[in-house]
Chain A
Amino acid sequence: MMNKKLSYLALCITLTFPLFACAETMGQPDNGSAAKDEVNSADVLKLEAESMAQRQLQTRKYNTTAEDKIVNTCVNVLQDSGFTIENTELKLGTILASKEREAVESGQVAGAIIIAVIFGVAIPIDKNQKMFASIVVSPAASEKKASLVRITFSRLVWNDRGAVSKAERLEDPEVYQTFFTKLSKGLFLEAQSI
């Protein structure tokens, strides 16, 4: 009798483990799309090793000195993508835009349900997110007739208990490429890597 119970338990555990693993990988953003949380708290103002790579990923050069035109086109592109403009400063070429959306991911929900069934505890799941796009347009130091556009995407995620569960920089090269493709179209200019 006892043995039977034990084997049932063992079976349950072996069956649920792969599920956990699945929920874990599904709930997490794919590798490379989010900043790795390796920075030490005291190193917050130190230059990271990947700083240069980040700059290249986020920056493109355009052969124009019309910074105001670039700023305006950036605002249009952001609006096209559903962003709300929070503030702009033409003289320094900065724009901050944000967008609030749902952040429920099926994998995480499945994981939470499994844990609730087995252990009887409700674990928080991600509910809302606020995504930010921060743009800085500046004259290129190396060339007289060019401007640099640097955009950084990041997001804050809140769980269903209202606590921030994620605060991360988005590092997926595709989103940056998408933005610059749209910007190039709007500017009728070709984007150059730096």
Chain B
Amino acid sequence: MKRHMWTRREIAGWALAAPAVLSNAGARAQTAATAPPPSDLLAKAREGNKAHAEAMAKIDLPMSTEPAFVFRA
């Protein structure tokens, strides 16, 4: 079956016209109403990563334990 090759203009037109995309306005309104400042969000994300590292540090890990992936040549 011959494939229809989309042009950049068609794709851009689709992205702008899709009704679901228009509802993004609602999502942004919700975001604006509830989101803390970006610096607070970044600090919170960093705190989360630190807390995860601390939680993992509490577990005894035998030195012989290898990571759960295997490199294959």
Please indicate whether A and B come from the same complex rather than being unrelated chains: no
- The interface of chain A, by Cβ under 8 A from chain B, is none
- The interface of chain B, by Cβ under 8 A from chain A, is none
